[in-house]
Amino acid sequence: GACGFGEYGRNISDGNVAGVYRLYNNGIGCGACYQVRCTTSPQICTDKGVNIVVTDYGQGDNTDFILSHHAFEAMAQPGTADRLFAYGVVDVEYQRVPCQYVGHKIQVKVHENSRNPDYLAIIMLYQAGKSDILSVDIWQQGKWVEMRRSFGAVFDMSNPPLGAISLRFNVQDSAGSKWAVEAPNVIPPNWKAGVAYDTNIQL
């Protein structure tokens, strides 16, 4: 999808994923989690609804979420999914909820388009909690340099520094507070495209 998550975006949250329109926020909304429940009919819709992860951008006629088939079905009472699908478009209510990834801290994945040593693109996986990563800085020649948001949740840089790479995540929580989290030497010198590297960070 438009966030750039690749297979992670297809499989995360048991496939309960969604494209969003206004909530996409130029890619800042990628990876956010929401509880979504339909309000069309109490005989069809569950009180709990479904928890989804934003992995894509999409828009329709006044549409906030374009749910995966699996996520749409999960909003329905047992045995009523066909009746819910028959509506096609349903009214929903939703709220932001913390993402929870048991056993995972944030991973920095080197995007498949990267080419060592000339071009580095990264994306963060398993971003728990309710905070957004606004921007990412890379340590280069004794100072922090802001990476470009290439698209979605992908940040990139031409001619990245040689050796181990340190990053700094600039974060904002749901109350609007901002802070920075450093990940020293998180990417090794011999980094490879498509490989995800663990951090000790959880937001």
Where do the domains of the chain lie, and which CATH numbers do they carry?
7-96 (2.40.40.10), 107-198 (2.60.40.760)
- CA dihedral sign, ordered 133, 136, 139, 145: negative
Residue 102 pLDDT class (50, 70, 90 cuts): very high
- Tokens representing 140 are 């280069």
Omega before 98 within 30 of 0, i.e. cis:
no
- pLDDT of residue 44 exceeding 90: yes
Q: What pLDDT shows up at residue 202?
A: 87
Q: Taking the complete model, does pTM exceed 0.75, yes or no? A: yes
- pLDDT of residue 62 exceeding 90: no
Backbone angles phi, psi at 84, to 5 degrees: -70, -45
Distances (CA, A) of 34 to 83, 97, 99, 161: 23, 5, 8, 37
Averaged pLDDT for residues 167-175: 95
Q: What pLDDT shows up at residue 143?
A: 97
The amino acid occupying position 179 is W
DSSP-derived secondary structure letter, 98: -
User: In whole numbers, what is the pLDDT of the chain averaged over residues?
Assistant: 96
Q: What pLDDT shows up at residue 65?
A: 96
Backbone angles phi, psi at 72, to 5 degrees: -60, -45
Q: What pLDDT shows up at residue 162?
A: 95
Averaged pLDDT for residues 20-29: 96
Count CB atoms within 10 A of the CB of residue 131.
21
